[in-house]
Structure 1
Amino acid sequence: MKRLSLLLLSPLMMQAAWAQDFVSEALLPKALLTHIDAGTKVRDFKTVDLNGDNLDDYLLVLERADGTRTLKIITKQTNGQLLLAKSNDAVVYCRDCGGAIGDPFDSISTKSKSFTVRHFGGSGYRWSVATTFNYSRRDQTWQLVRVEESEFHVQHPDQMERQIYTPPKHFGKIDFADFDPNDFKGRGEK
C-alpha cells in the first residue's frame, strides 16, 4: 500500500515542481499584466534599460501549456505606458527540448542595451547555447551579436568543444524578431 501511494504522489510532486518554475503574477508590475497572453504563464522576467533611454524596460518569457515559449521585449514610454516592441517564439527553447536533462532554459542575463538567453541540455553529451542581442541605436532594434555553442561528453568534461558565431563573419544583421536558432548561420544583410 505504501508503494502505491508513492506512485500516486509522484505525478503530483512532479506537477508541483513544474508549477514552481513560474513567476507569480503578484511579483510583476501591474502594467506588465496586460502583456501576458491568455493561456500562458510567466516563466521569467527581467527589468533593464534595453534601449538606452534611462527607462525600465522588460523581458518577459511566457510559456504555453504545450511547453512552447515566447520572449517579449516590452519598452516603457516617456508617458509611463508599456509597449510591446518585439517578440520571438523560437529564442527560448521549449520545455521538452533539452533531452534527458529536461527543461533546457537556464537563464537570461541582462545589462544596459543587451541581453543573453542561456540553455543547457543533453544526456551523455551535454550542450549549452548562449545567444546575445544588443540594441542598435541606428536601426532602433535588437540584433543578434553572438551565439556561443559548447558540447562535451560527461566522461570527458575537459574536452569541451566550443564554437562562437559573430557578425559579419558568420551572419549579418538579424533582428531579434526574425532570429531562428536553427537557421541563423549565413543569414542576414552583411
Structure 2
Amino acid sequence: MEAGRDEVKDSAQAFVPAGAKPLETIKGDLNGDGIEDALLVIDPPAPGNLAAGENGPDRIVMLVLGGADGKWHLAARNNKLVPCSNCGGVMGDPFGYARVSSGSFTVVNSGGSRERWTDSYTFRYAPADKAWWLEGVSRQVIDTETDAENKKDFTAAELGKVRFEDFDPSSVPAVTLP
C-alpha cells in the first residue's frame, strides 16, 4: 500500500497540505461505487530558495474517496501530472481543467507561445485492482502563425499498464510539428 493511502479525514479539503493552495476540486464518482469522491489539484508552496525565472514544484493531484462512514480517504496521488504554475510558457499557468465521469477522470494541461500544446490524460478505475490505470493520452501542437497542426492519441496498449500514481507525462513521446 502506498504511503498515506490509509489517511482518513473529515473533509476532502483537509488533505490540502499546510501552505498549499487548492486550484481545483472536482466532485464525482471516481470509483463507480455511487458515493461522491473528489479529485483535488493542489499548488504546493514554492521553496524559498528559488531564483527569479526558476520553476517551482509541480502540482499535486489527489484522488480522495468518500466513504460509507462519511469520512474521506486518500486513495492515490500523483506529483507529476500537472506542471508548475509558470511551466506553461507565454500562455501562463498550464493547468487547464479536470473532469470526472463515473469510474474515470481526465486532466488537461496546455501552454506554449507560437507553438501551442495541449495534453489530455485519462485514467479509468479497475475495481479488481482498486486502482486507476492510464487509459489514454492525447497530445496536440498547433503553430499559431501557420495553422500547422499535429495530434497524436496514445492508447494504454501503446504506453503500457501504468497506475495513476506512477504515471509521468515525460514517459509519453512528444508531438512536434512536421
**TM-score relative to the length of structure 2:** 0.82
Aligned counterpart, 2:37 = 57
Correspondence 1:40 to 2:34: no
C-alpha distance in 1, partners of 2:134/2:172? Answer: 9
Match of 2:162 among 174, 181, 190: 174
Aligned partner of residue 182 in structure 1, secondary structure: helix
User: Which of 1 and 2 has higher RCO (CA within 8 Å, sep 6+)?
Assistant: 2
C-alpha distance in 1, partners of 2:163/2:12? Answer: 23
The structure carrying a bigger helix percent of its residues is 1
Alignment of 1:72-87 (within 5 A): 72-87=62-77
Match of 2:112 among 91, 110, 122: 122
Alignment of 1:1-190 (within 5 A): 31-66=11-46, 67=56, 68-157=58-147, 159-168=148-157, 170-184=158-172
How many positions carry a matched residue from both structures?
154
- Note the aligned Cα RMSD (angstroms): 1.3
Runs of 4+ with deviation above 6 angstroms: none
Determine what percentage of the aligned residue pairs are the same residue.
34
Shift of 1:184: 4.5
Shift of 1:38: 1.0
- Could you list the runs of 5+ residues in structure 2 that have no partner in the other structure? 1-9, 47-55, 174-178
Over alpha carbons, which structure has the higher Rg? 1
Contact 2:29 2:100 in 1 (8 A): no
Shift of 1:137: 1.6
Structure 2: which amino acid aligns with 1:40?
A
**TM-score relative to the length of structure 1:** 0.77
Change (3 A) 1:62 1:39: same
